[in-house]
């Protein structure tokens, strides 16, 4: 097997040479943050609603499982993977790299019916229902567990087991974890792409910085390795020759299992525009022979459809998988990205293609969930559109080949990515000492 490049020591740094990393968390205070004029500090400790009997029972169960996990001996070199959506590019990238290294891997599925879909995309892989006895036993025996969310109550890992929080996006966009007044995330490591990402992730998860290694995001490997021509043909078919952008808004009202969260009160479904505004955008695109594919956030609680539009096309749930694709390889097919506070733009920087930020309800979002980087419109590497006129002007630049934000985008790439290659998964598994590695490779990741 070819040797895998060594990673640099995981130590804090100022970012790429000549590019100082911006100061995170606390440098700017948004209107809804503690410390703003006229705003009281949030209460710390105590208060809140009394836990329900179901919540108490679940907590007791996870405590027992945690105790058992500390007693059960681990099988060296065994890995369990988990994602809340089951089929996710970070998990797929780890499966591929584990296969190359002959590492024993099991995927714990939230929905066992997704096993066939996962295997069609990843090849032969062992799958076990997350909530089954077999799933729990696999977890208890694994020396390494990786998840894009929270796994079995997110307890502090024992010394015999390393738990890796792959998560599902880079942190410097919308607030989460401790920035929302919630608890952190218990894990051994939480890999990120940059020193900026490290600072935020350490704070929002409540981790020491050295437990946040800068190795890149495995999901990005799949985006960078994708064959753009073949993916574009599979996704767009006869319209592959038309200029096509992807629109990926984050949710304003989300659904996480039984949890219903409202980040923006009175938000519209799918896209933050009225039906009349969307009709105007659609007509404008159609007149210019352009197309926009809309990928609604998987946790968006509000339905959105565009059946009567000519240029706007909404990807239906499962459509990418039906075409043999997943999200990150599909991103490589498009000529540009439209988004808002979604963290996808940090990953999309690696493709160095135009981005437009359609965020007419930015102030409402600030007043609701809140943003990390402020003033947000000064941080994003693309035109910031607060109304339809600004959005169409920005899209006009893209369609006519103008790229006024190219330099800013490349500066942002230096700030938010230490590595620009497709070796993030290899660096992660090297650091975890999983599978074949160079004889003089880097030291293992250690908290």
Tens of pLDDT, residue by residue over 183-212, are 889 999 999 999 999 999 999 999 999 999
Please say if the pLDDT value at position 25 is more than 80: no
Please say if the pLDDT value at position 28 is more than 50: no
Question: CA 437, 420, 436 angle in degrees (round to 5)?
Answer: 10
| pLDDT given for residue 261 in this prediction | 79
Mean pLDDT of the chain: 87
Please say if the pLDDT value at position 324 is more than 60: yes
Please say if the pLDDT value at position 389 is more than 60: yes
The neighbour count for residue 420, using CB atoms within 10 Å, is 16
Instruction: Give percent helix, percent strand, percent coil of the chain, each to the nearest 5.
Output: 35, 15, 50
Alpha-carbon distance 344 to 168, whole Å? 9
More confident residue, 265 or 37: 265
pLDDT in tens, 143-152: 999 999 999 9
pLDDT tier for residue 301 given thresholds of 50, 70 and 90:
low
Strand-pairing partners, residue 106, are 80, 126
| pLDDT given for residue 59 in this prediction | 85
pLDDT in tens, 392-422: 999 999 999 999 999 999 999 999 999 999 9
Q: Is 54-221+420-431 in CATH node 3.40.630.30?
A: no
Same fold, 54-221+420-431 and 227-416: yes
Percent of the chain with pLDDT over 70: 84
> Concatenated DSSP letters for 162-207?
EEEE--SS-SSSB--GGGGTS-----SB--BSSHHHHHHHHHHHT-
For residues 211, 127, 423 and 356, what is the CA-based torsion angle, rounded to 10 degrees?
Answer: -90
The neighbour count for residue 365, using CB atoms within 10 Å, is 23
Lowest mean pLDDT across 7-21, 42-56, 255-269, 295-309: 7-21
| pLDDT given for residue 262 in this prediction | 81
pLDDT tier for residue 38 given thresholds of 50, 70 and 90:
low
Sign of the torsion formed by the C-alpha atoms of 234, 356, 212 and 44: negative
Rounded average pLDDT over 121-132: 97
| pLDDT given for residue 444 in this prediction | 61
Alpha-carbon distance 142 to 165, whole Å? 15
Alpha-carbon distance 327 to 166, whole Å? 16
Please say if the pLDDT value at position 355 is more than 60: yes
Please say if the pLDDT value at position 357 is more than 80: yes
Please say if the pLDDT value at position 128 is more than 60: yes
Q: Where are the domains of the chain?
A: 54-221+420-431, 227-416
The CATH fold assigned to 227-416 is Rossmann fold (3.40.50)
């Amino acid at each position: 097997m070819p040797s895998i490049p060594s990673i640099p020591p995981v130590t804090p740094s100022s970012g790429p040479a000549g590019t100082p990393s911006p100061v995170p968390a606390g440098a700017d205070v948004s209107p809804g943050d503690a410390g703003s004029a006229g705003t009281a500090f949030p209460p710390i400790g105590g208060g809140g609603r009394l836990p329900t009997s179901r919540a108490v029972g679940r907590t007791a169960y996870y405590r027992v499982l945690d105790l058992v996990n500390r007693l059960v001996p681990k099988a060296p070199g065994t890995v369990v993977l988990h994602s809340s959506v089951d089929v996710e590019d970070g998990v797929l990238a780890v499966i591929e790299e584990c296969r190359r290294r002959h590492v024993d891997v099991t995927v714990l599925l939230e929905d066992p019916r997704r096993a066939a879909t996962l295997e069609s995309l990843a090849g032969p892989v062992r799958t076990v229902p997350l909530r089954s006895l077999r799933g729990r036993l696999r977890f208890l025996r694994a020396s390494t567990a990786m998840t894009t969310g929270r796994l079995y109550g997110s307890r502090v890992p024992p010394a015999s087991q390393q738990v890796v929080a792959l998560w599902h996006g880079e942190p410097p966009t919308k607030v989460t974890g401790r920035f929302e007044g919630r608890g952190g995330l218990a894990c051994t490591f939480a890999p990120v792409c940059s020193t900026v990402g490290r600072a935020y992730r350490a704070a929002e998860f409540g981790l020491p910085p050295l437990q946040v290694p800068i190795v890149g995001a495995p999901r990005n490997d799949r985006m960078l390795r994708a064959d753009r021509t073949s993916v574009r043909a599979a996704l767009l078919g006869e319209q592959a020759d038309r200029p096509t952008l992807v629109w990926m808004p984050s949710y304003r009202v989300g659904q996480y299992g039984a949890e219903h969260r409202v980040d923006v009160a009175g938000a519209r479904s799918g896209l933050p525009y009225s039906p009349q505004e969307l009709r105007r955008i659609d007509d404008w695109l159609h007149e210019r022979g352009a197309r926009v594919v809309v990928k609604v956030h998987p946790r968006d609680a509000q339905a959105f459809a565009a059946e009567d539009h000519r240029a706007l096309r909404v990807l239906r749930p499962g459509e990418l998988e039906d075409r043999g694709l997943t999200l990150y390889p599909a991103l490589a097919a498009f000529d540009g990205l439209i988004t808002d506070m979604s963290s996808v733009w940090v990953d999309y920087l690696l493709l160095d293609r135009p981005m437009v930020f359609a965020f007419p309800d930015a102030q409402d979002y600030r007043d609701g969930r809140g943003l990390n980087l402020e003033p947000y419109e000064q941080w994003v590497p693309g035109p910031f559109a607060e109304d339809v006129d600004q959005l169409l002007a920005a899209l006009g630049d893209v369609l006519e080949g103008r790229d006024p934000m190219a330099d800013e985008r490349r500066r942002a790439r230096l700030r938010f990515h230490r590595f620009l290659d497709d070796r993030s998964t290899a660096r992660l598994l090297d650091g975890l000492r999983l599978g074949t590695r160079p004889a003089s490779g880097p030291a293992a990741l250690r908290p």
